[in-house]
Chains A and B, each alone.
Chain A
Amino acid sequence: MPEQKLLMTEAQMDKTIQGMAQKIVDDGLQEAVLVGIKTRGVPLAHWLSRHLAQITRKTPKVGELDINLYRDDLSEVAEQPVVNKTEIPFDVSACGIVLVDDVLYTGRTIRAALDALIDFGRPKFVKLAVLVDRGWRELPIQAEYTGKRIETKADEVIKVMLQETDGKNEVLLKEHFSKR
């Protein structure tokens, strides 16, 4: 069995996300809309929006973005990634946007998400919120709102599990199978 370590429990995740919501409000960005990056950024964006609603009594709109058509490795991957539905139910040009994802790693997903967003209009601004920043950036991208920052080895995997996608809420650090 590969070793795995519990990084965050559901309660810790909730407290972290609450803290992120508070910081967004403190920065005066409560009017911003949230855009979750599929798959796990979407339930996280909804989680964040619930905390924002508790603070401001107004639920921010949440969009869903699939970035597969914008990946920079499409000509290299062995199998074509499955395209999921993108739903942006608001005019991007009229909004400030907080992009939400589970793990910030190389930064390539965020690069793709920025390109995708721009095709929907010209947002007033785009900020980034991630639950975990594990380092190892390959592009000049940083998050404004980071739940937890941790040092990782290259062969480790951060697994954010969410009720909607995995049946429970927790964050694990795993050793990569193929390296064993």
Chain B
Amino acid sequence: MSLSQRHILSVNDLTQKDVALILKTAENLEEIAHRPVKKVPALRGKLIGLCFFENSTRTRSSFEVAAKRLSADTLSISTGGSSIAKGETLLDTIKNIEAMQPDLLVVRHASSGVPQFLSKQVACPVINAGDGSHEHPTQALLDLMTILKEKKKIKGLHVAIIGDILNSRVARSNMILLKKMGAKVSVAGPATMIPAEVEQYGVEVAHDIKKIIPKADVIMMLRIQREREADGLFPSLREYARFFGLNRETMRHAKKDAVILHPGPVNRGVEISAEVADGPHSVILDQVSNGVAVRMALLYLMCGVKQMSF
């Protein structure tokens, strides 16, 4: 079995069959993390390029661990320490990396569309690890895996996504993927952070989180980017926390078996209180473990085969 796509650029491109294959593979690879020797030889001799043109801790280390668990080698570049700082163009940087014969590239960039652009310039498969405010497909896949493990199904579940929907690639990828897999999705946040055309994703919009929390089986909190305060999108962090933060008081309205997701990094006391982030509903750290498994599945499925059919 193989994926219908050569690259993972947007969750839009994935078929339901692709998603099922990725999640099944991830589930079966998960056990490797609990072995005395946490490594299998499947991708021995493969080189994975981790090209992070935007800062990242979680996603980058997750891909790195995933590659290592499969015995692949990794090559890392980041904006700070690279020639980008010396004025080299993006394309030159990538062409130089390509000359080292990577078998797959993982790309993150602050501008939407960069992974798509690069996928047309290089000979190997590309995974989008987050591009601007466009998409973050591997985050949506790991969120889906986390929800599936908790709830045993996706179809018919009600998922509430709360926060800066406008600027969040995590929200966009999740809205598309969750709808594709049959979930009901609601979004909530300050009116300035809800995109005008959001209904196109088939989601319900709320401006009062108390209206959607009681219905939600899954509550997905988004990180509020502190620099947005300067953009005037919300008056203050305190006011944001009061109206859109998840805390003991708002959780009083939640279902008993609701689970809480957060893609990290968490702003404790802003979008989520410490008590809730560490509480019994939270599966935030499971998301991190599942992230490694999902990325292992993608690396295995995408760079284990000769790419002759493409």
A residues whose Cβ falls under 8 Å from a Cβ of B: 66, 68-70, 74-80, 82-87, 115-116, 118-121
Q: CB-CB < 8 A to A116: which residues of B?
A: 40
Cα separation A174 to B169 with both chains bound (whole Å): 54
Cα separation A77 to B304 with both chains bound (whole Å): 9
Classify the interface of chain B: helix, strand, loop or mixed.
loop
A82 touches B25 (CB 8 A): yes
Cα separation A77 to B307 with both chains bound (whole Å): 11
B residues whose Cβ falls under 8 Å from a Cβ of A: 1-2, 21, 24-25, 27-29, 31, 35-37, 39-43, 45, 70, 297, 300-301, 304-306, 308-309
**Interchain CB contact (< 8 A) of B305 among A69, A79, A121:** A79
Closest Cβ of chain A to B14, distance in Å, is 16
A77 touches B41 (CB 8 A): no
Report, nearest first, the 4 A-B pairs whose CB atoms are least far apart: A69-B40, A119-B37, A69-B42, A80-B304
Cα separation A116 to B37 with both chains bound (whole Å): 10
A119 touches B27 (CB 8 A): no
Closest Cβ of chain B to A94, distance in Å, is 12
A-B contact count (CB 8 A): 60
Closest Cβ of chain A to B299, distance in Å, is 11
CB nearest neighbor in A for B43: A74
CB nearest neighbor in A for B25: A83
A82 touches B305 (CB 8 A): no
A84 touches B28 (CB 8 A): yes
**Interchain CB contact (< 8 A) of A78 among B37, B42, B300, B305:** B305
B39 touches A119 (CB 8 A): yes
CB nearest neighbor in B for A66: B28
A76 touches B42 (CB 8 A): no
Cα separation A82 to B3 with both chains bound (whole Å): 11
Known A-B contacts A69-B42, A119-B37; A79 and B1 likewise in contact (beta carbons under 8 Å)? yes
A119 touches B40 (CB 8 A): yes
Cα separation A121 to B34 with both chains bound (whole Å): 12
Cα separation A120 to B31 with both chains bound (whole Å): 11
Cα separation A85 to B40 with both chains bound (whole Å): 14
Cα separation A4 to B35 with both chains bound (whole Å): 43
Q: A78-B309, A80-B1 are in contact. List 4 more A-B contacts (CB 8 A).
A: A69-B40, A78-B305, A80-B305, A120-B36
Q: CB-CB < 8 A to A119: which residues of B?
A: 35-37, 39-40
Q: CB-CB < 8 A to B28: which residues of A?
A: 66, 83-86
A69 touches B306 (CB 8 A): no
Cα separation A108 to B171 with both chains bound (whole Å): 46
Cα separation A106 to B270 with both chains bound (whole Å): 61
A78 touches B306 (CB 8 A): yes
**Interchain CB contact (< 8 A) of A85 among B27, B70, B304:** B27
B35 touches A120 (CB 8 A): yes
Cα separation A80 to B300 with both chains bound (whole Å): 8
Closest Cβ of chain B to A57, distance in Å, is 32
Known A-B contacts A69-B41, A70-B40; A86 and B300 likewise in contact (beta carbons under 8 Å)? no
Q: CB-CB < 8 A to B25: which residues of A?
A: 82-83
